Copies of this chain bind each other. A is one copy, B any other.
Amino acid sequence: MCRTKKTQSIMSLVTVGTVAFDTIETPFGKAERVIGGAATYISLAASYFTKDLNLVSVVGDDFPEEELQYLRKRGINLDGLEIKAGEKSFFWAGRYHNDMNSRDTLTTELNVLADFKPKLPADYRDAKFLMLGNLTPEIQMKVIRQMKKQPKLTVLATMNFWMDVAMPALKRVLKKVDVLTINDEEARQLSGEYSLVKAARVIHKMGPKFLVIKKGEHGAILFQGDKMFYAPALPLAEVFDPTGAGDTFAGGFIGYLAKTGNISFENMKRAVIYGSAMASFCVEEFSISRLKKLRAAEIRGRVNQFHRLVKFTAK
């Protein structure tokens, strides 16, 4: 069968975000300068669902070539990854508290990220799915403007920091996206409403038709208009390292949507479950270690666990 470039890229996914080094301290140990970054976690998680993956980011020439080779091997196109000679990659160091739910940032070195100007290769610009990882709203907007036409679905991740320092720019970019994914405290800050139901109503009016509120160990809620879907997190005996769990969730979510090409509420529910399953693996080991060795059967098995976790029959 003959497949043209056009049909191959119909469900292509472009992911913009950081590719970075992390140093992580948890009550279980310390991992120094391991692979991190939103775009890394997102793309790697998505690679378990779909193969037309395209990454946009920037690293220094200190980033290990074998790690880039590994991402390519997973089907991730790195034409959009700028490698800046003589510069250093983004670096973050953090320490988790005993409860693993809160952490202190010890170091943030922007390095190459300080003047990151994303440039999408020509063949990225007609992608059907666009995942904007947490970055400044201005950079996220620059990426949206480089798309030749509006993607089938644009998902945006952001954080409280941009609400504090760049709310007007964040509000401008929110008008351009279909799905916003933030945590419960951020939803409250963005909307000024404590009730998540009311917060969702306010945020829908800001632009995003869909809202995914991530609640960490308490799961995630998907909102579309008056419709709600609650996906609990799988209660785990051990959470080894929560770094990247939110991005891994987003990668599983958009990866599943890109694979199926279906953005109905019903299918988005499944995408939330796949995202939750991927996140539940991510936290089992430091960095991307667990994601690297994941098998398809394990993902299916965990989705079945989510099914059993909430299933009841009315009598």
Query: A residues near B, CB below 8 A?
Result: 98-100, 194-198, 215, 218-219, 221, 228-232, 235-239, 260, 266-267, 269-270, 273, 303-304, 307, 309-310, 312-315
- Given the known inter-chain contacts A229-B312, A304-B314, A312-B229, please indicate yes or no for A221 contacting B195, CB distance below 8 A: no
A-B contact pairs, 10 of them (CB 8 A): A99-B194, A195-B235, A195-B236, A196-B235, A229-B309, A230-B235, A270-B313, A270-B314, A273-B312, A303-B314
Q: Is the CB of A237 within 8 A of B195?
A: yes
Contact of A230 among B99, B310, B314, B315 (CB under 8 A): B310
Residues of B within 8 Å of A237, CB to CB, are: 195, 197-198
4 residue pairs, one from A and one from B, having the closest CB atoms: A218-B218, A230-B232, A310-B310, A269-B312
Q: Is the CB of A194 within 8 A of B100?
A: yes
Kindly state the separation between the CA atoms of A304 and B314 in the bound complex, as whole angstroms: 8
Kindly state the separation between the CA atoms of A162 and B240 in the bound complex, as whole angstroms: 32
Identical chains bound together, number: 2
Q: Is the CB of A197 within 8 A of B236?
A: yes
Residues of B within 8 Å of A309, CB to CB, are: 228-230
Residues of B within 8 Å of A231, CB to CB, are: 310, 312
* Chain B residue, CB-CB nearest to A98: B194
Residues of B within 8 Å of A99, CB to CB, are: 194
Kindly state the separation between the CA atoms of A204 and B313 in the bound complex, as whole angstroms: 26
* Chain B residue, CB-CB nearest to A215: B218
* Chain B residue, CB-CB nearest to A273: B312
Kindly state the separation between the CA atoms of A269 and B239 in the bound complex, as whole angstroms: 26
A101 to B: closest C-beta gap in Å: 9
Residues of B within 8 Å of A195, CB to CB, are: 235-239
Residues of B within 8 Å of A100, CB to CB, are: 194
Q: Is the CB of A221 within 8 A of B196?
A: no
Kindly state the separation between the CA atoms of A310 and B233 in the bound complex, as whole angstroms: 12
A262 to B: closest C-beta gap in Å: 9
A229 to B: closest C-beta gap in Å: 7
Kindly state the separation between the CA atoms of A299 and B300 in the bound complex, as whole angstroms: 35
Q: Is the CB of B307 within 8 A of A314?
A: yes
